[in-house]
Amino acid sequence: MGTKINYTKRASQILEIEEYEVNELVKRMYGHFNKNGFAKDEIVKSFFILNDIKIRKEKIRLETTAPLLGFKNKGIEQYKGNIVKLHDEGKSTHEIHKNLKLNKKDAPSLSTIKRYIKSLQEWRSNNG
């Protein structure tokens, strides 16, 4: 009898995502095809599900790896991942503040965001 191939593990290696994310991808694609059928356009659209999973994974990574840098502000603590992501995209502190204010009711103040970004830049220059 032949060996059983673990397709979930192989797919996670090829797609460079975790095995639980492969399972999520399969469930979402299955639901997508059940709802919309197997038309050519729908098959192409299903690949956007993989992109959504990778974007969410990157957001989680940013939120967990962004340093708090001694700030005790709850807004900085809660939205540091968003602040770092927007700053890395080249957004100004005003744009970051406006974005957070539109999406979140308890966004940190503009001056707090400026101080956090300044501390982040110093931390990055010292820690590579």
What percentage of the chain reaches a pLDDT higher than 70?
91
User: Given this model, what pLDDT does residue 66 score?
Assistant: 66
Q: Which of 55, 22, 116 is nearest to 108 (CA)?
A: 116
Answer yes or no: is pLDDT of 78 > 90.
no
User: Given this model, what pLDDT does residue 94 score?
Assistant: 93
User: Given this model, what pLDDT does residue 93 score?
Assistant: 92
Quick one: CA dihedral 101, 107, 109, 114, positive or negative? Answer: negative
Answer yes or no: is pLDDT of 21 > 90.
no
User: Given this model, what pLDDT does residue 122 score?
Assistant: 84
* pLDDT tier at 114, thresholds 50, 70, 90: very high
Answer yes or no: is pLDDT of 128 > 70.
no
pTM: 0.53
Distance CA 125, CA 128 (A): 6
In angstroms, what CA-CA distances link 32 with 17, 42, 69?
A: 20, 8, 42
| Single-letter residue type at 24 | E
User: Given this model, what pLDDT does residue 96 score?
Assistant: 92
pLDDT in tens, 41-63: 888 888 888 888 888 887 777 66
